Amino acid sequence: MKKKIWIGIGVACLIIILVGVNVFRTVSKENLTVDTIKVEEREMTGNVMVPGTLSLRNESLVYLSPESGKVAEILVKEGDKVEEGTPLLRYENEQLLVEKEQNALSLESSYLRINQVEKQINDLDEKEEDLTKQVGKEEAKKQVDAERDQLKTDLKLANIEARQVLLQKETIEKKLGELEVVSEISGTVLSISKDASKGVTQGAILHIAKPDELIVKGSISEYDSLKIKEKQPVTLRSDVVPGKEWVGVVSKVNLLPEQSENAMGNEDSAVQYPIEVTIDDKGIKAKPGFKLIMDIQTEKRKALAVPLEAVKQDAEEYYVFVVEEGKAIRKIVKTGAASDEYMEIKTGLETGERVIVSPSNELQNNMEVNEK
């Protein structure tokens, strides 16, 4: 009896095992379910990433001028709004004042000399009459003509000397006028050196700019200089303000490369071209000196493209899987430019084909699949 029971148990276990194997085989034979998307033309953009520094768009730095004298008075204070031509500071120069006084005396002396010679010339007619009575008309004329020629020469020299003194006067007056320094731009006084009056300032005495007018300055390579042009749109980002973006436009691309000691001394050093980007957003939450990333859009065009996740790489080849008659077909493709989401397909696919997005590692060529 027990033997029959054990035989029954064994048969039941065998049946359960066979059923399990068949179920497993059935499940294993189920097709993979895949996501697909149609191949179509999409708007592709080419981008160049360039590091840059936020800078003041228009600024004026006033430096100490030792030859002008000593700073007598600073006529503005930090935070003042100034216009072009507003007086900023005044120098005092005792030597110039002495030169001005000496020049005035020299000019007065020159005019006295001119007046004296002119009077002597005017008196010659009367002198000639007196000499005629003494030595005769012919001899008198001879003596007076010689003296007249000499006086005319003296008058020319006196006039030349006077003109030289007048030129010196203009130079002195110009220097005196430069003792008052005026603003070259309209803006705000951002900083004033505390040591300006001591004459020991190494940097600028005054810094003037418009704080709300900012640009981003950077440098690009020779290769990128062929792609980046004025008026191209730019997206700006900063690690200091994560998640925030600002928009701008390329406003300047230098024709000539920037000069540096390394570049001049080393023929193999990389050549860099300065660029400037104007910021369209007036409420940018960043300060001059902030480091920014400039994402410059260099091109915008239509092209066949698929999601980045659809493209796989095998050695030096790129491939995708497309669904044809319920099967995954592996196709070699030639790729082009890439954006944040899509990869351009130059050859290998046609419009309307259904490409598999994010194919799994289990997917093989000619494998039957189900589309979602």
Note the pLDDT of residue 28.
44
Closest CA to 224 of 298, 300, 301, 299: 298
| Domain ranges (residues) in the chain | 31-57+213-372, 59-187
Reported as type and span, the H/E element at residue 353 is none
Question: Which residue shows structure tokens 């084909």?
Answer: 353
- Residues 6 or more apart whose Cβ sits within 8 Å of residue 66: 199
pLDDT at residue 351 tops 90: yes
Reported as a pLDDT band with limits 50, 70 and 90, residue 26 is very low
Reported as a pLDDT band with limits 50, 70 and 90, residue 315 is confident
pLDDT at residue 230 tops 90: yes
Reported as a pLDDT band with limits 50, 70 and 90, residue 94 is confident
Note the pLDDT of residue 147.
82
Q: Give the whole-angstrom CA distance, residue 18 versus residue 11.
A: 11
Query: What is the CATH code for 31-57+213-372?
Result: 2.40.30.170
What are residue 109's phi and psi, to 5 degrees? Answer: -65, -40
pLDDT at residue 18 tops 60: no
pLDDT at residue 22 tops 60: no
In 3-state terms, the chain is what percent helix, strand and coil (to 5)? 35, 40, 30
User: Which range, 63-67, 132-136, 199-203, 242-246, has the best average confidence (pLDDT)?
Assistant: 242-246
Note the pLDDT of residue 184.
93
pLDDT at residue 276 tops 90: yes
Q: Of 9-18, 51-60, 240-249, 277-286, where does mean pLDDT reach its minimum?
A: 9-18
Summarize the confidence of residues 226-230 as an average pLDDT. Answer: 94
Between 14 and 116, the more confident residue is: 116
Report DSSP state, residue 258: P
Q: What percent of the chain has pLDDT over 90?
A: 57
pLDDT at residue 134 tops 80: no
- Beta-ladder partners of 370: 33
Q: Average model confidence (pLDDT) for the chain?
A: 86
Summarize the confidence of residues 297-326 as an average pLDDT. Answer: 93
Summarize the confidence of residues 192-216 as an average pLDDT. Answer: 83
Note the pLDDT of residue 258.
87
Q: Give the whole-angstrom CA distance, residue 178 versus residue 29.
A: 94
Taking the model in full, what pTM does it have?
Answer: 0.60
Between 19 and 219, the more confident residue is: 219
Between 198 and 78, the more confident residue is: 78
pLDDT at residue 327 tops 70: yes
Reported as a pLDDT band with limits 50, 70 and 90, residue 309 is very high
Reported as a pLDDT band with limits 50, 70 and 90, residue 9 is low
Q: Give the whole-angstrom CA distance, residue 146 versus residue 320.
A: 112
Summarize the confidence of residues 81-96 as an average pLDDT. Answer: 92
Note the pLDDT of residue 220.
96
